[in-house]
Chains A and B, each alone.
Chain A
Amino acid sequence: MAIVILRRAGMAIPTLLGVTLMIWMLLSILPGDPLVGLLAPDATQADRDRLAHEMGLDRPLPVRYVAWLGETLTGDLGFSPFRQREVVELIQNAWRNTAILAGASAVFGLTVGMLLGTLAGVHRGTPIDRVVTGSAIVGLSVPSFWIAILLLIVFSAQLKWLPAGGIGQLSEGIVPFLKHLIMPVLAGSLTTIAITARVTRASVVETFQSEFVDLLRAKGLREWQVLLHVGKNAISPVLTTSGLQVGYLLGGSVLIETIFSWPGLGQLVFNAIAQRDLAVVQATTLVIAVTFVLLNLAVDLLQATFDPRIKRTA
């Protein structure tokens, strides 16, 4: 098992380097003047050159990448000239809030998706299956930001049941906290529910066609016992997709957090885009992408423990 962990973790290192390289390229090579906003409008060419030299912009690109990587690895994600704050500080505060929202959406979305998918898979070909499969394609197509606005219209503007935005502090009690969480979680997790349900259904249907299911039935096991065996064998693709889903939730948080004024990474990115504060956009992208890679690594390892077949091939 230790070998499996080491090998998988080793495979993540080139990916992580690739991520840093891509983010750095966005930061350094794409058009756009990195000195904009840092210089006074009446700055001379000499001022520009001096600042470029101070920031190391006159060095060759590979040297700049290695230097930047070193800074990033030591936790220096840059400075936001617009907010006059270290980007790390901004991200730290926002990170916790995004983790709450994405975590809650993931738990809710994956649970509901797996339940619906199993339900449809077990009752394949019945009206239940058709309703679930049909709803899944709706869930896949519907833009999360539109659902967010529809929820706001119904539950906030019309019924006035739920707050339109912001985050509830746990110190103020669990009820306001949950009230703030309901709509962002519902809007954000709809796609997760749809994709998870589809993957789960396909996997359950496929597993039910295996010969071991006939054997279990022939041995006289009850249907719910058979389902337990099927579930254990069908979980692998669902786990794979769940890692991806959490990543998509983090990516989609830009839209959901913006609409519900949720003070997380997504809202930080949105505001930074409006202010052309690229340091923040790129640092946040880096943090989310690294989380995404590590998350998929964790899912990989989890799969290896669940499924002995993977352990052997790894």
Chain B
Amino acid sequence: MTSAAPTFTGTAAEAWRERDVPARPESYLQAARRRFMQNRVGLAALGVLGMLVLSAILAPWLTTHDPTVGVPAERLLPIGSAGHVLGTDEQGRDMLTRLLYGGRLSLIAGLVPVLIATSIGTTLGAVAGYLGGWVAAVIMRTMDMFYAFPTVLLAIAVSASLGPGLKNVIIAMTIVYIAPIARVAEAATRKVVVAEFIEAARLTGASTVRILFTQVLANIFSPIFVYASGLVGLSIVIAASLSFLGLGVAPPAAEWGFMLNALRGTIYVNPWVAALPGLFIFAVSISFNMLADAIRDALDVKG
């Protein structure tokens, strides 16, 4: 307020200034953000994830050992050994180093398929939901076929057919996730299409593609985002499962699922070190699941 503005005093003016009406009503995203910031569990999960992601990215600067070359004389040291806080693995490599480096591939393998599948599934579902008719029938009946398989099994079968390797694991998981996301997108689109603003956009002469991108997408974003964020926790576990089965990375790369399988034989000699990679998978997975719950509550989406 500038000094030239007139000043009002007195109780009526005070009450007017402190009135309970906000200048502008809270927008949907502002409300969602406020609800999220009030959710302690969600914030804690976000904090844990932030730390894990950051430590994976900064692994070269946070660790002092080589993640792939070990010291044979220092094999299978227990947790709390001097110089190796979390012990060493069956080849004498520092566990803390490998766990931090391992987070890179594990997080990529879990997150990337969800991201790609979300963009493909959203497109398919939005097109099917918007156009309807035979296009929708072809797309959605094709998607239905994927539901005849248990998720993990389909991922294993596709990944095994493509051959081992992180890239193929990501492709296999992407294929598996497209169908459920397309279903969510299609259902959400069908609800939006009947809205008057879509009709209005059509009347102004907007093309189908333009309507899909500017009108439909913005309005189906929430349910899809909630579903996809709920998928990440599962995806981390499935990615680790595929690596565990030997379909993912090749040695000597560090990846949590792969490390867990490699250490399986050492549980009689050095038990608790063998359990560590699983603890990291679990920590990431449960944090994502809690974060997803918080996002769902914040965006106020049912389901």
- Given contact pairs A137-B293, A149-B274, A142 touches B149 in the complex (Cβ within 8 A): no
- Given contact pairs A273-B160, A281-B160, A248 touches B151 in the complex (Cβ within 8 A): yes
Q: How far is the CA of A16 from the CA of B147 in the complex (A)?
A: 11
- Which stretch from A42-50, A110-118, A232-240, A285-293 is at the chain B interface? A285-293
A21 cross-chain contacts in B, Cβ below 8 A: 145
Closest beta carbon of chain B to A283's beta carbon, Å: 11
Contact A281 B157 (CB under 8 A): yes
Q: How far is the CA of A27 from the CA of B158 in the complex (A)?
A: 10
Contact B152 A252 (CB under 8 A): yes
Residues of A255-282 at the interface with B, using a CB-CB cut-off of 8 Å, are 255, 258-259, 269-270, 272-274, 276, 278, 281-282
Closest beta carbon of chain B to A255's beta carbon, Å: 6
Query: Chain A interface residue count: which class?
Result: 35 or more
Confirm or deny: A157 has a beta carbon within 8 angstroms of a beta carbon on chain B. Answer: yes
- Given contact pairs A137-B290, A254-B153, A285-B153, A32 touches B282 in the complex (Cβ within 8 A): no
Confirm or deny: B249 has a beta carbon within 8 angstroms of a beta carbon on chain A. Answer: no
- What does the 1/0 interface line of B16-39 toward A look like (CB < 8 Å)? 000000000000000000000000
A289 cross-chain contacts in B, Cβ below 8 A: 148-150, 153
Closest B residue by C-beta to A255: B241
B257 cross-chain contacts in A, Cβ below 8 A: 145
Partner of A250, one of B150, B241, B246: B150
Partner of B237, one of A23, A27, A138, A143: A143
Contact B150 A150 (CB under 8 A): no
Confirm or deny: A70 has a beta carbon within 8 angstroms of a beta carbon on chain B. Answer: no
Q: How far is the CA of A157 from the CA of B267 in the complex (A)?
A: 7
A137 cross-chain contacts in B, Cβ below 8 A: 286, 289-290, 293
Confirm or deny: B264 has a beta carbon within 8 angstroms of a beta carbon on chain A. Answer: yes
Closest beta carbon of chain A to B55's beta carbon, Å: 20
Confirm or deny: B44 has a beta carbon within 8 angstroms of a beta carbon on chain A. Answer: no
Confirm or deny: B132 has a beta carbon within 8 angstroms of a beta carbon on chain A. Answer: no
- Given contact pairs A140-B289, A153-B272, A26 touches B260 in the complex (Cβ within 8 A): no
- What does the 1/0 interface line of B254-287 toward A look like (CB < 8 Å)? 0001001000100110011011001101100110
A32 cross-chain contacts in B, Cβ below 8 A: 161-163
Closest B residue by C-beta to A286: B157
Confirm or deny: A93 has a beta carbon within 8 angstroms of a beta carbon on chain B. Answer: no
Q: How far is the CA of A19 from the CA of B154 in the complex (A)?
A: 11
Closest B residue by C-beta to A278: B161
- Among the interface residues B157, B240, B264, B281, which one has the most CB atoms of the partner chain A within 10 A? B157
A225 cross-chain contacts in B, Cβ below 8 A: none
Confirm or deny: B85 has a beta carbon within 8 angstroms of a beta carbon on chain A. Answer: no
Closest A residue by C-beta to B164: A273
B271 cross-chain contacts in A, Cβ below 8 A: 153, 157-158
Contact A251 B151 (CB under 8 A): yes
Confirm or deny: A31 has a beta carbon within 8 angstroms of a beta carbon on chain B. Answer: yes
Closest A residue by C-beta to B261: A145
Q: How far is the CA of A97 from the CA of B181 in the complex (A)?
A: 35
A178 cross-chain contacts in B, Cβ below 8 A: none
Confirm or deny: B233 has a beta carbon within 8 angstroms of a beta carbon on chain A. Answer: yes
Closest beta carbon of chain A to B114's beta carbon, Å: 15
- What does the 1/0 interface line of B205-247 toward A look like (CB < 8 Å)? 0000000000000000000000000000100010011001111
- What does the 1/0 interface line of A1-30 toward B look like (CB < 8 Å)? 000000000000011101101110011001
A146 cross-chain contacts in B, Cβ below 8 A: 260, 275, 278-279, 281-282
- Given contact pairs A19-B148, A31-B162, A143 touches B241 in the complex (Cβ within 8 A): yes
A274 cross-chain contacts in B, Cβ below 8 A: 246
B247 cross-chain contacts in A, Cβ below 8 A: 273
Confirm or deny: A247 has a beta carbon within 8 angstroms of a beta carbon on chain B. Answer: yes
Confirm or deny: A77 has a beta carbon within 8 angstroms of a beta carbon on chain B. Answer: no
Confirm or deny: A305 has a beta carbon within 8 angstroms of a beta carbon on chain B. Answer: no
Q: Which 8 A-B pairs have the closest CB atoms?
A: A146-B278, A251-B150, A251-B153, A18-B145, A141-B286, A285-B157, A141-B285, A251-B152
17 contacts between A and B (CB under 8 A): A18-B144, A26-B158, A141-B233, A143-B240, A145-B240, A150-B275, A153-B274, A157-B268, A157-B271, A247-B150, A248-B152, A251-B151, A254-B156, A255-B152, A255-B244, A273-B247, A289-B153
Chain B residues at the A interface, C-beta cutoff of 8 Å: 141, 144-146, 148-154, 156-158, 160-163, 233, 237, 240-241, 244-247, 257, 260, 264, 267-268, 271-272, 274-275, 278-279, 281-282, 285-286, 288-290, 293
Known pairs A141-B233, A255-B241; list 18 more (Cβ under 8 Å): A14-B141, A18-B144, A22-B145, A22-B146, A22-B148, A141-B286, A142-B286, A143-B278, A143-B281, A145-B257, A150-B275, A250-B150, A251-B149, A251-B152, A251-B156, A254-B153, A254-B245, A292-B150
